[in-house]
Chains A and B, each alone.
Chain A
Amino acid sequence: MTELRKRGGGDRDAENISDKDTDGDDRIGVGGEGDRDSKPDTDTPEVQPSVDNTPKCLNKALAGMSSRWKNWWIRGILTLTMISGFFLIIYMGPLPLMLMVLAIQIKCFQEIITIGYRVYHSYELPWFRTLSWYFLLCVNYFFYGETVAENFGNLVQRDEPLQFLVRYHRFISFALYLLGFCMFVLSLVKKHYRLQFYMFAWTHVTLLIVVSQSHLVIQNLFEGLIWFIVPISTVICNDITAYICGFFFGRTPLIKLSPKKTWEGFIGGFFSTVMFGFIFAYLLAQYNYFVCPVEYSESNSFLIDCEPSDLFVLQDYTLPSVLQTVFRWKTVKLYPFQIHSIALSTFASLIGPFGGFFASGFKRAFKIKDFADTIPGHGGIMDRFDCQYLVATFVHVYLTSFIRGPNPSKVLQQVLVLQPEQQLSIFNALKSHLTETGMIPPAIRGP
């Protein structure tokens, strides 16, 4: 059967082929009486034709094997390729990383929008393709502008047009967005209102999910490469270890949405990921390159050098007595960051998979096997990144709540923009506060 997607035998995200048929009743909803402008659900696009786009060389090398093992090998090789690619880009530095995040975001957006077009047969609304990409551009302009304003302060101070753009950034972004909004309203065509509104909403929800969260990824990155690497690695690790544990010990199904996931895989993945995260954090926390915030220096390049914060300095922790008897050590030297990494790994393995279930439900709802065919053996880019986005948001919220205080240069900027009387009152309040805490000696009375 040509529709059998060439995916590995242990396909955890399997869209069971049978599900597509039994789900036929899902036709409720898109219609509604009198709905002339979108075809009824029975014409929903079936599974996209599964084109085999594995590269020729792999095909040759694996020519001898049976189909099932061949799939397994393709999946395995691609996994290793992607992980190596990941490490290579980390080595290359923050700027290639940012570009990679941008490229992934654009590809995910494109995949989801293409699905929307297929579902609604709205290829014939050419305006809408333009508008979707225009909205993507607007939202990215807004977010990147905020990032530049925050993190590239030096560059902005020097350049006059940049200063203007930064000062009125929100207004300019809003004006750009409004332009797209008005174009949308003007493009409403009589028989296609509902379609057009659907695509509008589809675009905006996609922007909300994909674009804003990819910018949270970049914010995490600027906090320190370790806050970018560890979460992504734990999600990847959880994927792989849950699969392996499920493969060997899997018995009890976990959730109806993804029939091949099991409780044993889930729990085994959880413990392995926590341990992996713990060890990996220990390895990375030693290097300034990973630990320091990314800064943009005067000399037009990225600078990653600093005095590591307390989080990344080895400290002694007394083990609770339970563990003392087990390990026979009294104290252990850990980075405080490793304790945070436990929180991150826990989230990645317990809550992260819900992002994957959401994507599985989405695929079932719209009767597609994969988001796209970009990666042989794995599906689309979105298939790989569905859990990542949720984890990235969590890491960002975690960072801002527990780790990072306000950015000092940003605060200084804000102070300098205030009215002079306000500056004076802040100055006096700050002076009394600093005198109280002993940072400055008390003023000697009298001139």
Chain B
Amino acid sequence: ESEVRTDGEAPSDSEIKPDPGVPSTVDDTPEVLNKALSGMSSRWKNWWVRGILTLAMISFFFIIIYLGPMVLMMIVLCVQIKCFHEIIMIGYSVYHSYHLPWFRTLSWYFLLCVNYFFYGETVTDYFSALVQREEPLRILSKYHRFISFTLYLTGFCMFVLSLVKKHYRLQFYMFGWTHVTLLIVVTQSHLIIHNLFEGMIWFIVPISCVICNDIMAYMFGFFFGRTPLIKLSPKKTWEGFIGGFFATVVFGLLLSYVMAGWRYFVCPVEFNNDSNRFEVDCEPSDLFQLQDYTLPSVLQSLIGWETVRIYPFQIHSVALSAFASLIGPFGGFFASGFKRAFKIKDFANTIPGHGGIMDRFDCQYLMATFVNVYIGSFIRGPNPSRVMQQLLALRLDQQLHIFNTLRAHLIDKGLLSANQEATAA
């Protein structure tokens, strides 16, 4: 009995045949829920299951935010591994390639390599003091790219050696499939972690906006929906889309206002070398300090205030929410098209009522990439400790040259007084 997904994948192809690998639509809602809802009709029961699971996931999200950055990183890693697993399973079932045992090993090996590369870069960037202290870590960090490349090459050579005469095309397909999945899922999950280190607010607000847009678009569509939006997802409507956009922007503004007041969310996550723990404490940057903005006259006459005190971050949040509601859904359409192309209902059956983890995260990955690019382009300058590291790696005469240039620059700007430094070089 196939479940009807309320956000619009009515099964259009009647040729969905049961297949050994494709997750069949088994009703795996937990027993307790089943008992509690046993009285209702099937349609309402689905709605309730979905609703309860939504609340459960959101609560879980808040709990792990409370638990701190380390736990968050672990969760991101788990989500990433599960998404990878789901997509690879689909590849296996599409290509009937269960009987190529080497390839399962190789896919997981490539996942390990790419993760090793990215986590190594993260550790080097953010845990620099810890790395410098421990000798083996220091060597691993210094030759990190070379080691990662070697590991990857080993996998590549194993792949070439594993090519079997009658299965060349299959193997190449799975190789391509694995790599595209790695590109999409793994790299973008690492961008999420980078966003997190910038400040938890850069992690929480985007994810919340995407969730909000999902829910709001659904509600607007439910109440006002009339004009279909796109053939790929027949149940999405223009009314839902636009309503969701406005609701999400407003939600983003409010959420940012609430969060920008707390240091826990606003400060970059740092690793304290002495206490070996994560520290989220700092002087909030200008972005998170209330400022007065003069409203344009249009809005002035409307609302009756002349100025308004908001955080500059809230203006950025408008950009983030706009992206989440206008472009983010394209990630969802992409995933819908993918599911139709390979004739599957859901990526997996992990979450009752919702499908697989990938079903929930399809829009998130695009959002995370946008946030990362946004931060890199408009917000964050280079990381000072990283710059210091690079400075110390230069030759001494190059360091001296930079030192002199910097000195002249600082004296110019009045940050240093000229006679204090008269004795240097």
Contacts and interface: CB of A to CB of B under 8 A. Distances in A.
B310 interface: no
Contacts of A358: 156, 159-160
Interface stretch (B102-110, B339-347, B353-361): B339-347
A29 B95 contact: yes
Interface string A304-315: 000000000000
Given A181-B334, A193-B340, A434-B399, A406 B16 contact: no
Interface stretch (A45-53, A86-94, A285-293, A407-415): A407-415
B226 interface: no
Given A33-B19, A427-B406, A354 B170 contact: no
Contact of A32 (B96, B166, B378, B421): B96
A296 to B, nearest CB: 19
Contacts of B153: 351, 394
Interface in B149-182: 149, 153, 156-157, 159-161, 163, 165-173, 176-177, 179-180
Interface in A12-44: 22-23, 25-26, 28-30, 32-34, 41
B167 A411 contact: no
Interface in A165-193: 167-168, 170-171, 174, 178, 181-182, 184-186, 188, 190, 193
Interface string B56-98: 0000000000000000000000000000000000000011110
B384 A422 contact: yes
A364 B387 contact: no
B330 interface: yes
Contacts of A64: none
Interface residues of A, number: 82
Interface residues of B, number: 88
B393 interface: yes
A257 B183 CA distance: 28
B25 interface: no
A211 B272 CA distance: 40
A397 B149 contact: yes
B424 A411 contact: no
Contacts of B420: 447
Interface string A104-128: 0000000000000000000000000
Contacts of B400: 434, 439-440
A71 to B, nearest CB: 27
Contact of A405 (B384, B393, B402, B405): B393
A185 B230 CA distance: 10
Interface stretch (B208-216, B237-245, B367-375): B367-375
B413 interface: yes
B17 interface: yes
A364 B170 CA distance: 12
B167 A408 contact: no
B410 A423 contact: yes
A398 B143 CA distance: 9
A184 B366 CA distance: 15
Contacts of B337: 185, 188, 193, 196-197
A201 B177 contact: yes
Contacts of B161: 255
Given A188-B337, A361-B160, A433 B410 contact: no
A208 B184 CA distance: 12
Nearest to B409: A416
A366 B169 contact: yes
B327 A178 contact: yes
A46 to B, nearest CB: 15
A365 B230 CA distance: 37
B398 interface: yes
Nearest to B181: A201
Contact of A443 (B16, B142, B333, B423): B423
A182 B423 contact: no
A364 B391 contact: no
A355 B382 CA distance: 37
B180 A201 contact: yes
Contacts of A196: 337, 341
Interface in B370-409: 370, 373-374, 376-378, 381-382, 384, 387-388, 390-403, 405-407, 409
Given A33-B17, A418-B382, A182 B330 contact: yes
A174 B370 contact: yes
A257 B342 CA distance: 31
Main secondary structure of the interface of A (DSSP, over half): helix
Interface string B408-425: 011001011001110111
Interface centre among B183, B231, B403, B420 (most CB of A within 10 A): B403
A368 B406 CA distance: 59
B96 A23 contact: no
B333 A401 contact: no
Contacts of B277: none
Contacts of A434: 396, 399-400, 403
A289 to B, nearest CB: 23
A184 B333 CA distance: 10
A340 interface: no
A26 B166 contact: yes
Nearest to B93: A32
B379 to A, nearest CB: 11
Given A174-B370, A400-B145, A423-B415, A34 B399 contact: no
Contact of B167 (A28, A193, A414, A426): A28
A437 interface: yes
B306 to A, nearest CB: 32
Contacts of A168: 377-378
Interface string A352-395: 00100110011011100000000000000000000000000110
B167 A26 contact: yes
A441 interface: yes
A205 B179 CA distance: 7
Given A25-B166, A256-B165, A365-B168, A394 B392 contact: no
The 6 closest A-B pairs by CB, nearest first: A193-B341, A365-B168, A34-B15, A171-B377, A401-B146, A365-B169
Given A28-B166, A34-B343, A366-B169, 6 more contacts: A23-B168, A181-B334, A185-B330, A361-B163, A364-B168, A423-B410
26 contacts: A26-B166, A26-B167, A28-B96, A28-B169, A32-B94, A32-B342, A171-B373, A181-B330, A185-B330, A205-B180, A257-B163, A358-B156, A358-B159, A362-B172, A365-B169, A366-B169, A397-B145, A401-B142, A405-B394, A411-B390, A415-B402, A424-B416, A426-B384, A427-B416, A431-B424, A440-B400
